[in-house]
Amino acid sequence: MKAFILDKYKKKGALRFGDMPEPALQDDDILVEIHAAGLNPLDFKIRDGELKPLLSYRPPFILGHDVAGTVVRVGSKVRQFKPGDEVYARPRDGRVGTFAEFIAMNEADAALKPKNLTMEEAASVPLAALTAWQVLVERAGLRKGQKVLIHAGSGGVGTFAIQLAKHLGATVATTTSTANVDLVRNLGADVVIDYKKENFEDVLSGYDVVLNSLDGDTLQKSLKVLKPGGNLISISGPPDPAFARKQGLNWFMQQVLRIPSFSIRRKAKGRGVGYSFLYMLANGEQLRQIASLIEAGILRPVVDRVFPFEVTNEALAYIETGRSKGKVVVKVR
């Protein structure tokens, strides 16, 4: 099968378009013919070698974390799906590879595609929507009447997080550039901070939750907007010891990961708020709940551009600019 292959870790290195064997099917697996694949910053971070200590992929391997396609074969123990089913998924770590014509994945990672979405739209959903869900629903327990600040509201995670937070009954503030103010307002943001015109930390206060996806400077400033007992949850780092334990990393790596997060954890504690790092995990059951919200018109994906499969490297370069609104997708079939 045709695929985009990472032969060696290299900053801004091109993936090789070539042939790879069709993936083998395990008893709990479904084999999916890929129609479309979503792109994420996680893809170029892995390509650049930034995450080698945390995600041990050995080249050559296929990149890609979002998929929508059709089930063509199922393992002997699969009960949820059958050939012909249209599904979408974020395959679990260690089994990624959606920049290809086929992928085998555990059935627990997949869900039926929302009926009202195209394959390209569906491929834009899993990783970003699961991240928003796991931050706001699982980790923060966001509820009606609370206030949440979502950084980078026009990005892949941000566009879903704004809509989900509004559905949960929260007051939503977000940061964005001038060009995207209308977009985030239309998604439901109550308070929009144009970061080119004002500093969010000077405007906002008394917030229950902050979802950070930006740099360390933004992370530090975010502490100022939280009320005592509030939670600062970052998806862009730095990782904390709790994450290291959850990942099953050895004692040495757990100690190593204490260091980058020490400062922010200490400052958070001094202000009476919590800090945690969240790395999203594959979850087909959550994708089923997200599909229900999409079919009910409560959530909608925002797709910036759809690239042909053959120019996947160009699509990666485009999302690296940080200017895309919502998600970028490659059409495989």
Question: For 49-96, how does the pLDDT look when each residue is reduced to its tens digit (9 = 90+)?
Answer: 998 878 879 999 999 999 999 999 999 999 999 999 999 999 999 999
Q: Kindly list the distances between the CA atom of residue 213 and the CA atoms of 119, 139, 189, 234, 237, in Å, as whole numbers in the listed order.
A: 27, 15, 17, 6, 8
Mean of pLDDT values over 235-241: 89
Question: For 196-226, how does the pLDDT look when each residue is reduced to its tens digit (9 = 90+)?
Answer: 999 999 999 999 999 999 999 999 999 999 9
Q: What is the pTM of this model?
A: 0.96
Answer for the pair 119, 113: CB distance below 8 angstroms, yes or no.
yes
Q: 7-21, 97-111, 240-254, 288-302 — which is least confidently predicted?
A: 240-254
Mean pLDDT for all residues in the chain? 96
Mean of pLDDT values over 148-164: 98
Answer for the pair 284, 109: CB distance below 8 angstroms, yes or no.
yes
pLDDT value, residue 243: 85
Angle, vertex CA 144, rays to CA 283 and CA 272, nearest 5 = 85
d(CA 248, CA 163): 33
Band of pLDDT at residue 242, cut at 50, 70 and 90: confident
Question: For 257-314, how does the pLDDT look when each residue is reduced to its tens digit (9 = 90+)?
Answer: 888 899 999 999 999 999 999 999 999 999 999 999 999 999 999 999 999 999 999 9
pLDDT value, residue 187: 98
- Angle of helix 126-133 relative to helix 284-295, nearest 10 degrees? 100
Q: Which domains occur in the chain, in start order?
A: 2-124+301-331 (3.90.180.10), 127-277 (3.40.50.720)
Overall size of the chain counted in residues: 333
Percent of the chain with pLDDT over 90: 90
Mean of pLDDT values over 179-183: 97
